[in-house]
Structure 1
Amino acid sequence: MEKKKLSTTFKLLRALGFNYSEEEYGDVSLGRVVWQFFHNIRQKHRQNMMDWAILEPFAPRKLRPRLMRKMGCHVGEGCFIGDHVRIDQGHADMITLEDGVSVASGTRLLCHQRDFKDYFVGSDYNKLGYIVKPIVLKKGCLVGMESFVMPGVTIGEGAIVGAGSLVTKDIPAWTIAAGRPAKVLKEIPRRDSEV
């Protein structure tokens, strides 16, 4: 198998400690890396503002949703965002929270992860590509504290995800799910039905 010759830019980036793969990122320019560097600092500053204690009375329903919008997320009206919620800053535009969504403290919303389908003994982890897919939290759903929502997941309307869950697959509307990985435990009954 013939080795591909690295461009001068990639050699420079590798010398500076960046481990980009040309297969994954294409021909990355130094200018693009510099732009991304400053963009990441700005996004990180916004992320940190979400946890400023002095703003706590306004933060969950006013400040944090507004900052998430500024970071690129699609956030509806009346959303509650707990403290220390972290989003995938590089793919913030792929995160949608519809009206009335609640995301409890410490939750992570991740739109990318390594793709392990071509990972075998002797493979180089750093050369694996990524799975990049959007996350959609439907109207009125709740994601419990310290949960992880992984790429490509849709959490249905009114669904509840228990604290500490790892959500790797879609959660249907009006259900309660929990666990690692999260599984549906119960359907939420209609008010007029007998329990």
Structure 2
Amino acid sequence: MNKGIKNINPTLTYRVLHKMKLLNDVQKHGDITFFGLIGFAISTVVKRALFTYSYKGYFLEPLNKKFIRPAIWRLCGCDLGKNVHIGHMVRMDFGNSQRIHIADDVILSNGVTILCHKRDISLYCKGKSALHLPFIYEDVYIGKGCQLGLNVTIMPGVHIGDGAIIGSGALVTKDVPAWSVAVGFPAKVIKTIEECSDKLLTGG
């Protein structure tokens, strides 16, 4: 069964915009109304401008990483915990930001990408156009205390457990257990993080 796919009877507003080739995702926008479209457009412009700053802005570091970017991500609809650090050029799935859930004390290093939608290729065959394939939407969960290295990509539906570390450049397509280290393209778990010894706990 395909996750996130539902039957929708498109509104007149959607059908008109679809004919104009301005909207093509009935799953996401099929129930949009005229006044809803106006509000959506204004909100999107404002949020996009703020996100563009959070993505490209170098000024006010390290305030951007610790305070400004997390605040903008929350405004855009992401579910963020406390003390989340977001590096430079980190990409959220902007149109599906409400599907991103990040717990406390998470570090997103520079260049991280978090995706919450993808094309459904389960019925794809020769002669079809990929442009007309429906989308699948799935939430992403990043647990408490995780660290994502440089240029990590998180695919839709992935759950990363508490304390996990994802190595730089990894493509995460499957869930990562808590307190483990995953690296590679696609990412694979290479290590389980052990309990702290008495020496580490006392700083000796």
Same topology, TM > 0.5: yes
Whether the aligned pair in 1 keeps the contact of 2:23 and 2:29 (CA below 8 Å) is no
1:74 aligned to 79, 85, 93, which one? Answer: 79
2:184 match: 179
Which residue of 1 is the match for residue 201 of structure 2? none
Distance 2:11 2:75 in 1: 35
Summarize deviations over 1:133-164 as a string: whole Å, max 9, x none.
11111000011111111111111111000111
The root-mean-square deviation of aligned C-alpha atoms, in Å, is 2.2
What are the ranges of 5 or more consecutive residues in structure 1 without an aligned counterpart? 1-5
After superposition, where does 1:1-195 map in structure 2 within 5 Å?
9=13, 12-14=16-18, 16-20=20-24, 22=26, 25-26=29-30, 28-50=32-54, 51-192=56-197
Q: Matched residues in 1 for 2:194 and 2:101: separation?
A: 26
**Runs of 4 or more consecutive aligned structure 1 residues displaced over 6 Å after TM superposition:** none
Q: Measured at CA, do residues 181 and 40 of structure 1 come closer, stay the same or move farther in structure 2, by a change above 3 Å?
A: same
- Cα distance, 1:11–1:166 mapped onto 2, change above 3 Å: same
The alignment of Structure 1 onto Structure 2 pairs a total of residues equal to 188
Structure 2 residue identity aligned to 1:44: R
Task: Report how far residue 75 of structure 1 moved.
Answer: 1.0
In the aligned structure 1, how far is the partner of 2:89 from the partner of 2:146? Answer: 19
Give the alignment's TM-score, normalised by structure 2: 0.82
In structure 1, what residue type is equivalent to 2:65? P
Give percent identity, aligned residues only: 34
> Residues 113-147 of structure 1: CA distance to partner in whole angstroms, max 9, x if unpaired?
11111111111222211111111110000111111
State the match for 2:3 in structure 1: none
Deviations along 1:8-35, whole A, 9 cap, x unmatched?
Answer: 6556424533241547643544544444
> What CA distance in whole angstroms lies between the structure 2 residues aligned with 1:10 and 1:26?
6
Which has the higher mean CA deviation after the structures are superposed, 34-43 or 112-121?
A: 34-43
